[in-house]
Amino acid sequence: MKTLFHSIVLLFFSVSYIQAQSKADKLNLSGTVVGQPNGKIYLQRYENKSFTTIDSTNVTNGAFSFNSKVQLPEIYGLSLEGSGVNPFDSFIIFLDKNPIVVTFDPSHEFKNTVVKGSHEQDLLKELLSNRSQSLEDKLKANPKSIAALYYLYRYQSYKLTPAELRSSIKLLDAGFKKTEYVKVLNELAGTLDGIAVGSKAPNFTAYTKDEVKKELTDYLGQGYVLIDFWASWCPPCRAENPHLRKVYDQYKDKGLEIVGISLDKKVDPWIAAVAQDNLPWQQVYDPKAWAGDAVVKYGVRLIPANFLIDKNGVIIARNLKGEQLDEQLAELLNK
């Protein structure tokens, strides 16, 4: 009976895989790698601001090509690091059924990388450079564009109100409504409704480096808790850490606790960054990164981000940086 069950399961997944492959398109992607005559280059799936390797090919005499069967058009990543720890090691690329040629330059955050043949790649550059046109007008002009969807998803969603976010989603073509991107945006709109200042802070689960489970409720009841979302690979986060250290030293004995939540997918870089930046407060992480429990419940789409919570578990401020954080804590704790 068990053998029969296993056979049925295997058949199910085999059929599912064949069906998925039959729906996929053959990729026509080639190019050269600047500064690396030989080695490997990796094609990655882009999912919720993270990258996972789905294929690789050799770089020979500086040249490479992919003819993988993948979903097109779609957003992918190219990297020399495989499924790396740092998302900034991957270059976002918009691929479709047309031949696409890349001059891949990994230096200076891919500033000199050139993509030819991808209309969506060109459109994203245009959307980013056109500061005079409103988000609404950009979406109305390009409702079927995956670059426009990405522009909303990556560069605009974190600063929109729930109402603005829902209005923007309605401007997208109906074909996008079932994508993971729109699913995340719809969930974000619902989340933002519940995490305004004055709302009850959602409880969450995360883990220490020793895999000990921690929750927000472990820290409530004594004073104020600053939840700080960051990652080892995030330069603005690392730049903010010295100021957080100063604040912590000043107020830790007056009723302030800080809980750092890392979006690192692996432990070693996170632990190294904690040591390098000399962060003495509680540190936890969730290997799901942008899909992690706390990140989702707090609607975090850009880091660094923080939430200041009182002893009753109520959010009293969010995204306080520099002098704003100093002034808020002085008002609360210098009494």
Residue 14 has pLDDT above 70, yes or no: no
pLDDT digits (tens, 9 = 90+) for 225-261: 999 999 999 999 999 999 999 999 999 999 999 999 9
Please state, rounded to an integer, the average pLDDT across all residues of the chain.
91
pLDDT of residue 57: 97
The predicted structure's pLDDT at residue 3? 46
Q: What is the mean pLDDT of residues 209-218?
A: 93
pLDDT score, position 20? 42
Domain residue ranges in the chain: 22-116, 121-192, 205-333
Is the separation of the CB atoms in 104 and 113 below 8 Å?
yes
Looking up tokens 């109100």 gives 161
Q: Fold for 22-116, please state it.
A: Immunoglobulin-like (2.60.40)
Rounded to an integer, what distance in angstroms lies between the CA atom of residue 297 and that of residue 309? Answer: 15
Q: In this predicted structure, what is the pLDDT of residue 7?
A: 45
Work out the number of other CB atoms within 10 angstroms of the CB of residue 24. 13
Instruction: Using alpha carbons, list the distances in angstroms from residue 230 to 12, 77, 234, 238, 266.
Output: 41, 22, 7, 8, 14
Per CATH, the number for 205-333 is 3.40.30.10
152 vs 254: CA distance, rounded Å? 41
Q: Identify each DSSP E strand in the chain by its residue range.
A: 25-26, 29-33, 39-47, 50-59, 63-66, 69-70, 74-79, 90-95, 100-104, 114-116, 205-207, 213-215, 224-230, 256-262, 282-285, 305-309, 315-318
pTM of the predicted model, to two decimals? 0.83
Query: What is the predicted pLDDT for the residue at 84?
Result: 64
Please check whether residue 281 is in contact with residue 288, taking contact to mean a CB–CB distance below 8 angstroms: no
